[in-house]
Amino acid sequence: MKKILLTLAARTFVLAAFLIILPAPVSQASPASPLERTPESAVTPSEKSRHAGFMRQIKSGNGDFDFVLIGDSITDFWQRSAPAPAGNDSYSRFAPWKPLDLGVSGETTDEVLWRLLNGELDGIHPKVVMIMIGTNNLGIYPSEKPEWVAAGIKKIIETVRAKQPQAKILLLAIFPRGATSTDVIRQRVDEVNKLLPVLADDKNVFFMDIGPKFLDPQGNLPRENMPDLLHPNADGYRIWIEAVRPKLEELMGSPLAPAASTAPLPAPVPSSSPSPKTLSK
C-alpha cells in the first residue's frame, strides 16, 4: 500500500509540473486579432499583395514613369477593364505622362507603406505623385480612429518625399461613400479629411478635396457615378480626371491627352437609394 501511495504521489507531482509549464491560453480580445487596431497599426508597414508584379513592371519600363498614382481599388480599377467598374477611356489620357498605377484593391495605409518601403519607389523619377488612400482603414477596421488614418497618410507622404524629393505630391481627400451624408462610414471619412489639409505645404505637397464633385445638391452619392456607392464607374472616373486636371497639368508642366469624347459629364442627380452594407475595396 505504501508503494502504491508513493507512486500516485509521484504521478501527481509530474502532472502538476507539466501544467505549470503549459502556456496560458490566448484571450480572444488579444491585440493579435485581425480586426483589432492600435495607433501604431496604420503607420506600421505590412506586406499584402502584388508587389512582385509592380517590381517587374518598373524594371521592364526602365523606371521611365513621370506620373505615379498611389492608392487602393479606387485607383487600381482606373486602369483595368476587370473587375468592373473601369475608367480606361479617361486613364488613357495620362499616356503622355507615362503613368504608373500603384493602386491595390483592398489596401490600407500600412500595406501601401510596406510596398513603398520595399522598392516600388526605387529606380523611378516621377514629376508628380497623386495619393488617395484611407477608406479601407475605416471600412475594414471598426476600431480605426480618424487620427490613426491621418497619421498613416502622413507617413506615406513622408516616405514619398524621402524617396522622391524632386516629385510634387497631390494629396486627395478620401472620396465620399455611402448613399447619404448620414452614412456612418461617410461621416468617419469626413473626420479623416478634416485632418488632411495641414499635411500640405503648397510647395511640395498640395491638397484637394474633390469629393463634392461626386455628390448631388442634397449631398447624396448617385449610383450613376458610383454604382456600389464606393467605386467610380467610367463616368465617375471622368469626373475625377476633370477635377484634378488643371492642378496636375500645372504640376506636370504639360497637358493631358485630349478626351476621347467631348460629351458633357453627367450632372449628379438625387439618389433615394438606401446605403448598402459597408463595402471594402
Among all residues, which ones are annotated catalytic? 73, 228, 231
Rounded-to-integer distance, Cα 134 and Cα 120, Å: 19
3-class state of residue 102 by DSSP: strand
CA dihedral for 99, 96, 171, 221, sign (positive or negative):
negative
Element holding 9 (H helix, E strand): helix 2-21
Q: Cβ–Cβ contacts within 10 Å for residue 187, how many?
A: 13
> What residue type is assigned to position 125 of the chain?
H
CA 18 to chain centre: 48
Q: Which DSSP letter does residue 198 get?
A: G
For residue 169, the cross-strand partners are 129, 205
DSSP strand pairing (168-172 vs 128-132): parallel
Rounded-to-integer distance, Cα 90 and Cα 69, Å: 14
Q: Cβ–Cβ contacts within 10 Å for residue 236, how many?
A: 26
